[in-house]
Structure 1
Amino acid sequence: MGKRHSKLAPKTLSELRDNTNFTVEELQDWYKEFKSNWPKGALTVEEFKKAYKTFFPLGDATEFAKHVFRVFDRNDDGLLDFREFVCGFSVVLRGGVQEKLKFSFQIYDINGNGFITRDEMSEVLSAMYRVECALSDDPDRDDPQQRSDTLFNQMDIDCDDNLSLEEFIAGVKKDPHIMKVMDIQ
């Protein structure tokens, strides 16, 4: 009886195979792990933050995880079901350059209006710095606000204090350091 919910329905499995960068076997493994950790079939932002922290035990991943959760939560219901979870991680772990750039843009576009403001960039970079703080001992590293202002000024081609997706992508592609930090190759 306990095995009844340990496998994905064939239709769901087929859809996820077609819409992610995972194999059928990997999807089945992801599903088993997901159901083992979240037997109710979904996780809250608090549960996601707790799980995300295990990837970055030395830094504070709480705020950054909140932004990642927001992008993963496609239907904006405050819960991540398996489909949202695995589709999000498909982009993060195996997405192509364009996919990862669009995903990164969505993280920075906190209010979802299609543009990144200086404040949004600063908020996300500050969250990233809190994750990385224990991982970096670079004394010359800019503070998040300085780095945010520098990046924003480089990317804001039309000087309208809003970064469009196109400006963001062009700006990231020009800066090898950003490409590395965002794990985009």
Structure 2
Amino acid sequence: MGTSTSKLDDKVYESIAKYTELTRDDILAWEERFTHQCDPGSTTMTMEQFCKFYQELRPTENVKRLSENVFRAFDLNGDHGISFSEFLIAYVATTEAPLEQKLRYAFNVYDLDHNCMIDRAEILFILRAMFQLLGMNDDNSHKYSYEQCADTIMKNLDVNEDQRISQEEFIQGLKQDPFLRSLMNPFQND
């Protein structure tokens, strides 16, 4: 580790440190770990590299399906790659940030088509990944099916009943409903 191998300038370090409250040494350690996963000479991770790295960060969980959606949520500029800055800010925001910030990222995981709304089909897609993460299969041995869960989510979060959930409906609804929050937030640490 050391500043000689770092690809970040002082202003970027200052920005990351301000946002994440990490020390320069912590940022350097994360940068080294991140760049080790990238192709030689590259400063960004592909989806495949990210999914492997994310699995290493959460080794006790089955995050394979979910990691592709997390990649999309972390890819802030939409260039189909994750830079170190995007990664570290998003990772800290989803692991150490206040609940509302975690829920903003969770909303982005569900919003598969980037239209700033979540519909029932998007909920079903992510629920399958979340159930897999929790070790639950798509069999009938569980109290609720994906469809029943999606119906409950739509009923409880779609306040204006337009068959879509806005980011505000999502955040406010999950803040008020601990059960749905535990079910729908892939960034649980609180």
> Between the two proteins, what is the percent identity of the paired residues?
28
Structure 2: distance between partners of 1:173 and 1:58: 24
Please name the residue that 1:161 is paired with.
163
Structure 1: distance between partners of 2:21 and 2:154: 31
Deviation at 1:3, TM superposition (A): 6.5
Deviation at 1:134, TM superposition (A): 6.0
**Where does structure 2 lack aligned partners over 5 or more consecutive residues?**
none
Aligned residues: 180
Deviations 1:103-133 (A, max 9, x none): 1111111111111111111111111111221
Q: Which residue identity is paired with 2:96?
A: R
Please name the residue that 2:121 is paired with.
119
Q: Which residue identity is paired with 2:149?
A: R
Alpha-carbon spacing, 1:83–1:58, altered in 2? closer, same or farther (3 Å): closer
Correspondence for 1:108 among 103, 107, 110: 110
Q: Which residue identity is paired with 2:11?
A: K
Please name the residue that 1:71 is paired with.
73
Alpha-carbon spacing, 1:3–1:160, altered in 2? closer, same or farther (3 Å): closer
**Where does structure 1 lack aligned partners over 5 or more consecutive residues?**
none
Structure 1: distance between partners of 2:143 and 2:52: 28
Please name the residue that 1:10 is paired with.
10
Structure 2: distance between partners of 1:96 and 1:57: 23
Structure 2: distance between partners of 1:78 and 1:51: 16
Structure 1: distance between partners of 2:158 and 2:5: 49
Structure 1: distance between partners of 2:124 and 2:136: 19
Helix, strand or coil: the match of 1:66? helix
Helix, strand or coil: the match of 1:78? coil
Instruction: Check whether the contact 2:95–2:189 (CA below 8 A) recurs between aligned residues.
Output: no
Structure 2: distance between partners of 1:87 and 1:162: 28
Alpha-carbon spacing, 1:56–1:119, altered in 2? closer, same or farther (3 Å): farther
Structure 1: distance between partners of 2:157 and 2:21: 30
Deviation at 1:184, TM superposition (A): 6.3
Deviation at 1:56, TM superposition (A): 4.4
Q: Which residue identity is paired with 1:50?
A: K
For 1:1-185, list aligned pairs within 5 A: 4-6=4-6, 8-38=8-38, 39=40, 40-54=42-56, 55-56=58-59, 59=62, 61-133=63-135, 139-181=141-183, 182=185, 183=188, 185=190
TM-score of the superposed pair, with normalisation by structure 2:
0.84
Q: Which moved more, 1:84-93 or 1:4-13?
A: 4-13
Deviation at 1:160, TM superposition (A): 0.5
Structure 2: distance between partners of 1:164 and 1:79: 26
Deviation at 1:50, TM superposition (A): 1.8
Helix, strand or coil: the match of 2:82? strand
Structure 2: distance between partners of 1:57 and 1:93: 15
Structure 2: distance between partners of 1:69 and 1:174: 27
Structure 1: distance between partners of 2:163 and 2:61: 34
**Two-structure CA RMSD over aligned residues (Å):** 2.3
